[in-house]
Chains A and B, each alone.
Chain A
Amino acid sequence: MTPTIRNLRDLLDDMSADAPHEHRRVAQIERRIRRDARRRRTVPTILAGAVALTAISVLIPALLTPASPGKPRQTTAAHQLTPELPPHFTAKDGTPYRRLTTTTLTARSTGQKKTSVTIPVSGKPLDVAGLCDGAPGKTEAPQIIVNGALTSAQLGCTRGKDVVLAPLFLPKGATQVTVTFDSTPWECGRSKSRPCSGVKFLRPADWTLAVYEWTPPARPVEPEPIKALPRVRGGMRLIGEASGVWPKDSSFTMTITSPGGSIGFDYLCTGDLAARLHISYRTGKGDLFGGGTCRSRPEGLDPDMSPSELTEIRVPKGQKVTISGKASMRGEGRNRQVRYLIGVYGK
């Protein structure tokens, strides 16, 4: 091929030529402007108290007209820190996501701890998504409650990085569900000996939240290969490994020669739902069992670090031990395969 500037110009022109015609664009923009205006006046209203009551009567007409030159823009912390989640996006594996609803939880800026949304259930898998303005690992994440029942879905706070998605677990047969995001600290008020004021919480944050529906790919998506495990990790030797592709290989077995004493496990996965694959294992006699959630590390594992899971094996050194395990998906995973690789390390 001999691409030239002209090729490039033609290509850009042609590729964008089939723009879909959006008849409702002006109406949608007007709606977004009104929503934007509402958001932008929320915090000044709260902060300014009674003064704001007077100010609002001025602000409302002002928001319907463009800002005059030189006039400082009315902004709110909530608006600045809670960017919108996209109405559509496509996952790396090609799975299309469609936003069903969105909401905000302004626990930090206004003290709002709970918010609820009601959504129709079409039968397609649902995910919740969250973006927060807090620090990773130090932020109170909302619990996800469906029709009043606490679910095990969890959102983590990764400020300024990724949109975090978690599966939404639905009651069977539901055609509509109410999802409540509750960032009340878990321990707060649960026992008389631990009143809210006595509990040291993680810090509250402002969240933008959404519920997405995704359409499973028509055919199983092949996950990428996994980088080989290091032969030695943190001074321990690789003594066994097992691999497979979920859901085809939802169980695994490997035989190792017991090193006696310390033993280490590592799991690596690829595929968009890698972080939802749970690996569990046990030895034949059940004297060793454990498990954890898989993780995706395209760069592979650091040979200088110790295995992520260290435990003790009571089988005498030199004896053969069979380790069997299962790979199970949290939530839906139709046609979104996950490749896993499990390594066992011993001294």
Chain B
Amino acid sequence: MRDKADFIAYVEARSPRLLRTAYLLCRDWAQAEDLVQTALVRAWRAWGRVGEHPDAYVSRILVNTHLSWRSRLWWRELPTDEPPEKASPGDEIGLSDERAVLWAALGRLPPRQRAVLVLRFFEDLPESAVAQILNCSIGTVKSQTSKALAKLRIDPDLLPPAATSPVRREL
């Protein structure tokens, strides 16, 4: 059975990465810290039965806690319409601005779709693992990914002034 020392070692090793994932979900460092701690406290309750690879279990708690907070508590969350970055000195072609626009567009996605993108493209999880975490089918993961990317593609702030760019179709 996994014990407390094992749990603490897991927290120390994995919580920085979990914090990053949590931040990408909720977009606020203080909330992300709270989300990670809440998820780990919940994980501890079942630590004895999570098996040798607790990542999927903890990620599932993290994402589901985030989604439940979103629906229950977080109407006050500021999903960030504000560009979070200032242009860096070397940013002569406005790259930071473009990234800020994409970041803001990500913030406008529904939480579940954003979660799919974070799990797929930040955690680099396969669709089957994402489906397990979100408790849905692989087909749903595919469709949610596709819808999220489509929303980004047609986000007014990301649309170029002219017609659709061929490169855009990569997204």
In the docked arrangement, what's the CA distance between A279 and B78, Å? Answer: 28
B7 contacts chain A at the CB level, 8 A cutoff: yes
Contacts of B167 in A (CB 8 A): 2, 4
A318 contacts chain B at the CB level, 8 A cutoff: no
Inter-subunit contact A20/B31 (CB<8 Å): no
Contact with A along B39-83 (1 / 0, CB 8 A): 011001111110000000000000000000100111111100000
Which residue of B is nearest A86, CB measured?
A: B34
Inter-subunit contact B46/A66 (CB<8 Å): yes
Which residue of A is nearest B155, CB measured?
A: A3
Q: Which of B126-161 contact A (CB under 8 A)?
A: 152, 158, 160
B1 contacts chain A at the CB level, 8 A cutoff: yes
Stretch at the interface among A11-19, A111-119, A309-317: A11-19
In the docked arrangement, what's the CA distance between A32 and B84, Å? Answer: 31
Contacts of B160 in A (CB 8 A): 1-2
Across the interface, B44 reaches (CB within 8 A) one of A28, A33, A89, namely A33
The answer to whether A26 and B8 touch (CB under 8 A), given A33-B44, A67-B49, A70-B49, is yes
Stretch at the interface among A90-98, A179-187, A222-230: A90-98
Inter-subunit contact A5/B44 (CB<8 Å): no
Which residue of A is nearest B48, CB measured?
A: A66
A interface residue count range (under 10 / 10 to 19 / 20 to 34 / 35 or more): 35 or more
Contacts of B38 in A (CB 8 A): 32, 84
Inter-subunit contact B48/A22 (CB<8 Å): no
Within the complex, the shortest CB–CB distance from A28 to chain B, in Å, comes to 6
Contacts of B2 in A (CB 8 A): 66
Across the interface, B19 reaches (CB within 8 A) one of A8, A19, A70, A131, namely A19
Contacts of B77 in A (CB 8 A): 89-90
A160 contacts chain B at the CB level, 8 A cutoff: yes
Within the complex, the shortest CB–CB distance from A150 to chain B, in Å, comes to 28
The answer to whether A3 and B37 touch (CB under 8 A), given A68-B1, A90-B28, is no
Within the complex, the shortest CB–CB distance from B49 to chain A, in Å, comes to 4
Within the complex, the shortest CB–CB distance from B123 to chain A, in Å, comes to 9
Interface size on B, residues (CB 8 A): 59
Q: Which of A17-64 contact B (CB under 8 A)?
A: 17, 19-22, 25-26, 28-29, 32-33, 36, 64
Across the interface, A66 reaches (CB within 8 A) one of B28, B33, B44, B106, namely B44
Across the interface, A90 reaches (CB within 8 A) one of B69, B76, B106, namely B76
Which residue of B is nearest A75, CB measured?
A: B45
A221 contacts chain B at the CB level, 8 A cutoff: no
Contacts of B20 in A (CB 8 A): 16-17, 19
Inter-subunit contact A26/B46 (CB<8 Å): no
Contact with A along B156-171 (1 / 0, CB 8 A): 0010100001011011
In the docked arrangement, what's the CA distance between A28 and B30, Å? Answer: 14
A162 contacts chain B at the CB level, 8 A cutoff: yes
Q: Which of A136-161 contact B (CB under 8 A)?
A: 160-161
Within the complex, the shortest CB–CB distance from A185 to chain B, in Å, comes to 27
Inter-subunit contact A5/B171 (CB<8 Å): yes
The answer to whether A162 and B75 touch (CB under 8 A), given A5-B170, A32-B37, is yes
A87 contacts chain B at the CB level, 8 A cutoff: yes
In the docked arrangement, what's the CA distance between A85 and B69, Å? Answer: 10
Inter-subunit contact A69/B49 (CB<8 Å): yes
The answer to whether A89 and B76 touch (CB under 8 A), given A8-B117, A32-B37, is yes
Inter-subunit contact A8/B171 (CB<8 Å): yes
Which residue of B is nearest A97, CB measured?
A: B76
Contacts of A3 in B (CB 8 A): 98, 102, 152, 158, 168, 171
In the docked arrangement, what's the CA distance between A160 and B69, Å? Answer: 10
A7 contacts chain B at the CB level, 8 A cutoff: yes
Across the interface, B45 reaches (CB within 8 A) one of A12, A67, A86, A90, namely A67
Q: Can you give 23 A-B contacts (C-beta < 8 A)?
A: A1-B98, A3-B98, A3-B102, A3-B152, A3-B171, A7-B171, A9-B122, A11-B99, A16-B21, A19-B20, A19-B23, A22-B19, A29-B11, A29-B44, A65-B4, A65-B48, A66-B49, A68-B1, A69-B48, A87-B34, A91-B76, A131-B73, A163-B76
Further 4 A-B residue pairs, CB within 8 A, beyond A29-B40, A65-B3: A25-B11, A25-B36, A29-B44, A66-B44
Interface residue ranges, A against B (CB under 8 Å): 1-5, 7-9, 11-17, 19-22, 25-26, 28-29, 32-33, 36, 64-70, 73, 83-92, 94, 97, 131, 160-163
